[in-house]
């Protein structure tokens, strides 16, 4: 897994490549926690290059969302497609998280 973060005007885009599973989820959590600790409260997670997400990965997303909720921030998911989208759909995460087709759309929807 690789994590690439980019600061945009109103949010930070976190692009995740590869697999987000029990092995790599702690790494993701650590990276995002550092950003949150640095004062970021608006995030767009770019799933465009993510091949696989497991339940541990989903839990990581939940942790992010929960932390931001406490700070009045928000997180949006962009580019969720393929098998990752299937997992989102089956688990019901698709209905809980705010989903956008593109990063640009997600950034535009950040309030």
Partner 1 sequence: MPGKNSIVIKLVLVITLCSSLIFAVTLGYNYYRSRILLVKELEGNAHNLALSLVNRVETELSSVTKVTEGVARSLETGRYSESELLSLIRITVEQNPKIYGSGVAFEPYAFRAASRLYAPYYYREKGKITFSRLEDSYKFVPYLYWDWYQIPRELGALEWSEPYFDEGAGNTAMSTCSVPFYGESRGARRLKGIVTADISLNSLTELVSSVKILKTGYAALISRNGMVLAHPLKAAVMNESFFSIAEARNDLSLRELGKKMVKGESGFILYRSLVGVRSWMYYAPIRSTGWTLAVVFPEAELLENVTRLSLTMALMGLAGILLLTLAVISIARSITKPLRSLAAATHLMSSGNFDLELPLVCSNDEVGLLTRDFQVMKESLKEYIKNLTETTAAKERIQSELNVATDIQASLLPRIFPAFPNRPEFDIFASMDPAKEVGGDFYDFFFIDDNNLCFLIADVAGKGVPAALYMMVAKTLLKSEGQRLGDPGQILSCVNTILAADNDSCMFATVFCAILDTRNGEVRFANAGHNPPLTLNSDGIRYLTLKPGFVVGPAEDMNYETERLTLQPGDTLFLYTDGVTEATNVADELYGEPRLLAALQCGPKEDVTALIHHVRAEVTRHADGAPQSDDVTMVALKYRGVAA
If binding is defined by CB under 8 A, does position 63 make contact with partner 1? yes
DSSP-derived letter for residue 111 is -
For residues 23 and 27, give the distance between their C-alpha atoms in angstroms, rounded to a whole number: 8
Q: How far is the CB of 45 from partner 1 (least distance, A)?
A: 15
For residues 37 and 70, give the distance between their C-alpha atoms in angstroms, rounded to a whole number: 13
# of chain residues touching partner 1 (CB under 8 A): 17
For residues 69 and 1, give the distance between their C-alpha atoms in angstroms, rounded to a whole number: 26
Among 4, 7, 66, 81, indicate the residue that binds partner 1 (CB under 8 A): 66
If binding is defined by CB under 8 A, does position 108 make contact with partner 1? no
If binding is defined by CB under 8 A, does position 28 make contact with partner 1? no
Closest CA to 45 of 30, 21, 28, 22: 28
Q: How far is the CB of 20 from partner 1 (least distance, A)?
A: 12
Unique residue bearing structure tokens 């939940």: 62
Site residues for partner 1 per CB under 8 A: 22, 54-56, 58-59, 62-63, 66, 89-96
């Amino acid at each position: 897994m690789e994590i690439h973060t980019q600061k945009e005007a109103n949010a930070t885009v976190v692009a995740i490549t590869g697999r987000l599973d029990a092995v790599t989820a702690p790494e993701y959590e650590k990276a995002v926690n550092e950003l949150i600790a640095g004062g970021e409260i608006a995030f767009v997670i770019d799933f465009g290059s993510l091949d696989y997400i497991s339940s541990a990965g989903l839990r990581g997303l939940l942790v992010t969302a929960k932390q931001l909720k406490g700070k009045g921030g928000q997180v949006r998911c962009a580019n969720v497609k393929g098998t990752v989208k299937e997992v989102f759909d089956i688990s019901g995460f698709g209905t809980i998280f705010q989903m956008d087709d593109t990063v640009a759309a997600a950034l535009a929807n950040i309030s």
